[in-house]
Amino acid sequence: GAMGGSASLIPRELLGEYQELTFLSKQEILLAYKRFSELLPKEERENACSARVSKSQILTLPELRANPFQHRICHVFSTSETRDDSMSFEDFLDMLSVFSDSATSDIKSHYAFRIFDFDDDGTLDRKDLEQLVNCLTGQGEESRLSSAEMEQLIQNILEESDIDKDGTINLSEFQHVVSRSPDF
């Protein structure tokens, strides 16, 4: 409104569509919209549905701030054509939807696979697994694994997961492992 009070809301037909396409409730979508518009510069908030939020702004979100995979998450959910990992409101909703408690484990594991596939080639190879382990153990000197420990760990992961023994983990192998360890 003229007072510049609350941000303009999502058109009703879009809201319905977002509810069908995500695991989020109407309330959660409206809250997401509010959070997304607050990441935008004031003058862009009126058109939050068509604006993009920069990666650096997205990384200020509490959910991502401490996440060791924050850069990969931005990369996987961003539909930016310039590949700058910025997010549209729909990208943002997709991300919140996958991370919500209502998302199926199939959807979650599909995105986890894409996030862990650091070189985006559709399989998790030794290099991906090494980066994955480094992300999880932190980059600090004291927490880093020696190369022998790393080699052993990757060996173990592949023995556990690489069903067709081609030296890489594909999506179905990954989902198989995840389905056996639900707390994953």
| pLDDT tens, position by position, 20-55 | 999 999 999 999 999 999 999 999 998 899 999 999
| pLDDT tens, position by position, 146-184 | 999 999 999 999 999 999 999 999 999 999 998 887 665
| pLDDT tens, position by position, 77-128 | 999 999 999 999 999 999 999 999 999 999 999 999 999 999 999 999 999 9
Q: What is the pTM of this model?
A: 0.89
Sign of CA dihedral 172, 133, 108, 156: positive
* 112 and 170 together in one domain: yes
* 83 and 141 together in one domain: no
Residue that terminates a domain, selected from 99, 129, 163: 99
Collapse the DSSP code of 34 into the 3-class scheme (helix H, G, I; strand E, B; otherwise coil) and give the result: helix
Domain span at residue 172?
A: 105-180
Residue that terminates a domain, selected from 99, 134, 151: 99
CATH of the domain at 142: 1.10.238.10
* 95 and 21 together in one domain: yes
Contact 126, 154 (CB under 8 A): yes
